[in-house]
Amino acid sequence: MTRAPLAAAALAAVALAACQPQAGADDAAFGRRVRAYLLAHPEVLQEASQKLDAKMAAKDAADLKAAQAKLPSVRQALEHDPRDFVANPSGWVTVTEFYDYRCPHCIDAAPQVVALIRRHPEVRFVFKEMPIFGPISQHAARAALAVKAAGGDYVGLYQALMATPALDDATIDRLASARGARAADLGPNAAAGAVAQIARNDALFNELDLGGTPAFVVGDQIILGDDMTALGAAVDRARAASRHPV
């Protein structure tokens, strides 16, 4: 018997064992035989795991390709929504980021995002608030949009929120107030516009089926996760293709 049929047989046996409504004597004996088989042939589990990984990777690649195909139809909402904050608004290479202030990978990427903005004024950077980690993240996103509405230091707040290890409501309000937010626009009484903007971002995020944060878009490329090397390469390609002087 080849390894593939062995994997299929073993996994089928495990599935059957798991589906038994009650564990009687025969079921217990069957379970012992399955366990003994898997202990004697651990390569079966390894092969099954590898096949599952390959299947998931293929699905992820297909999902990414489908999302990239949708980009032209959502370009305006993605890159030119006036309700988003944009750093380097005169730049001619646009990068959009969806992020959450409590996302570990977003936190890791944040210093390099700020460095990119400061080093490259030709990079027009669109900040898409995408809170996916619950009420604290929602509060932080609303606070950031309150800073934008007040004409405050949005990038400074982005840095501060990403650098604060244990965000809570009081800390968010303090940091946002220090960077220009009006008290009336913070917390549960946030401006309706901020709530609506987060909902729009959420709808766009789900339309593209991005799955998680951070997610970056550069032209027709999507970079998922904090792969800053891939992001830098995408930006370099976009800059090289641009007709503007760098």
Q: What is the DSSP string of 174-220?
A: HHHHHTT--GGGSGGG--HHHHHHHHHHHHHHHHTT--SS-EEEETT
- Whether 64 is in a domain gets the answer no
145 and 37 fall within a common domain: no
- Whether 52 is in a domain gets the answer yes
Task: Provide the residue range defining the domain that includes 54.
Answer: 3-58
pLDDT digits (tens, 9 = 90+) for 125-158: 999 999 999 999 999 999 999 999 999 999 999 9
47 and 130 fall within a common domain: no
129 and 54 fall within a common domain: no
Number of domains in the chain: 2
CATH number at 101 reads: 3.40.30.10
Can you give the pTM of this predicted structure?
Answer: 0.75
85 and 39 fall within a common domain: no
pLDDT digits (tens, 9 = 90+) for 202-236: 999 999 999 899 999 999 999 999 999 999 999 99
220 and 131 fall within a common domain: yes
191 and 221 fall within a common domain: yes
Contacts with 49 (C-beta within 8 Å, 6 or more apart), sequence order: none
75 and 53 fall within a common domain: no
- Whether 246 is in a domain gets the answer no
